[in-house]
Amino acid sequence: MQRLQDKYQALKDALPQFLAIANKYDTKPQVQFFDGIEGLKNLYEDHLTSQEDLLSFLWIAEVNESFKKYLYEDFLPRRVKAKVFAKVIVSSEAANKTYASINKKNMKATLVIPDPLFTLENEIVIYGWSKVSISLFSPDEMSGLIIHSKTLHDTLANLFNLTRKNYTHEKRKK
């Protein structure tokens, strides 16, 4: 009986160390992978759960036509109905400029950056309290990720806001 009590006490004494190890792994980012058009649709559905604005670095020049149809005819109307506002930064390709011209009715504010050094070929969306999605649109890579990480979310949100602020400030100076 004493031996059993000793083992119990040893386990009880070691419990804080076990919990410290478990907590160390609980703070690691969680990553979800989405494959193909259907996977990207599922990724975008998660954007609708956001209670805050979506912050997006976006490139739409070569988005698959089937996926683009889903975005404009299905996802976008539901995003507007859910009152999820989008702040978007795009590069200056013609398709992006057209996208930027339809802001108000789509509950978004788009900033076009006409700098040849600012090119995008995918989309990064910072949303929720701790989520970042990355969508790869090329036919060979059609997939996406959602990364659950507060520090990554906050870092990218700061970069987004800094880019927006600095470019808007530069535009006003001209």
Torsion angle defined by CA atoms of residues 161, 56, 104 and 102, in that order, rounded to the nearest 10 degrees: 130
Residue with tokens 């880019």: 163
> What's residue 108's pLDDT?
84
Sign of CA dihedral 99, 105, 110, 114: positive
Mean pLDDT of the chain: 82
pLDDT band at 77 (very low <50, low <70, confident <90, very high): very high
What pLDDT shows up at residue 110?
85
Using one digit for the tens of pLDDT, what is the confidence trace for 6-63? Answer: 765 666 676 666 666 655 555 788 999 999 999 999 999 999 999 899 999 987 667 7
Which residue type does 143 have?
A: S
Q: Look at residue 68 and give its three-state secondary structure.
A: helix
Q: CA 69 to CA 18: how far, in whole Å?
A: 50
Task: Name the nearest CA neighbour of 135 among 22, 57, 19.
Answer: 57
Residue 107 contacts by C-beta under 8 Å, 6 or more apart in sequence?
79, 80, 83, 84, 85, 86
Report the pLDDT value the prediction gives residue 78, as an integer from 0 to 100.
94
pLDDT tens across 90-133, in order?
A: 877 655 555 555 666 678 888 888 877 777 888 999 999 999 99
Domain ranges of the chain: 29-173
CATH number for the segment(s) 29-173: 3.30.870.10
